[in-house]
Amino acid sequence: MSQSPDWRNRRWAATHQRIYDAAIALFQQHGFESVSVGQIAREAGVSVPTFYAHYPSKEHVVMQLPTADDLAALLATQPADLPVADRIRRAAPAWFAQWSGDFRAAQLARWRIIASTPSLRTRAAEFERATAGMVADALPGKTGTSLGPGDAVVINAYLSALTAGVLAWADSNGEAELEQLVEEAFDALQRH
């Protein structure tokens, strides 16, 4: 008797979460650089190939990109006639408002690991650029136009400011308000 696709999906999701939980716990305990994929797999009760079936690298456990669909849905709520910067500024607090308490705590844990690991702070810029590409794809231009090169610069700058705000939040161990830090980073960008 074969297993149903729903059962396989639930099993895959449970394994994915188990790997994530084991990795985050190990990173918090020993530091990101000191933990190997083999240790994560062992702690999660999976093989190393199973780890790689779920995550391309240990960096991808903590450096997670939003999906293109999630970004498109979030940015679709913003009027296309607003400048790109304004749409991003308005979308950020809407995104944070969607976070449950548990999700916010998980984000803080991930970003604290990123903030405390120099190689991950640097790697965040790569993920930021990938996200900027998805934002550019998701943002429609004004009626009858497409986004131009200047818009790409604005998107990258605002995502960099967003990352700076999130890193400041992580550096404060969540004691500072995330939304305020991101707003301050956006304000600094707009002033200069």
Q: Which of 164, 131, 166, 147 is nearest to 84 (CA)?
A: 147
What does the pLDDT look like over 68-94, one tens digit per residue? Answer: 888 888 888 888 888 899 999 999 999
CA angle 40, 41, 46 (to 5 degrees): 150
Q: What's the average model confidence in pLDDT over 4-33?
A: 94
Q: What is the pLDDT of residue 141?
A: 57
Tokens of residue 102, six digits = 């548990």
* Residue in the structure block whose two tokens are 């944070």: 96
Q: Which of 124, 133, 136, 190 is nearest to 163 (CA)?
A: 124
Dist. CA 100–CA 187, nearest whole Å: 26
Dist. CA 74–CA 1, nearest whole Å: 42
Q: Residue 125 above 90 pLDDT?
A: no
What does the pLDDT look like over 126-156, one tens digit per residue? Answer: 888 888 888 888 886 555 566 778 888 999 9
Q: Residue 51 above 90 pLDDT?
A: yes
Domains and CATH numbers, the chain: 5-61 (1.10.10.60), 63-191 (1.10.357.10)
What does pLDDT average to over the chain?
A: 91
Q: What's the average model confidence in pLDDT over 94-120?
A: 95
Tokens of residue 114, six digits = 């990123």
Q: What is the pLDDT of residue 142?
A: 54
Q: What is the pLDDT of residue 136?
A: 86
Q: Are 162 and 182 in contact (CB under 8 A)?
A: yes
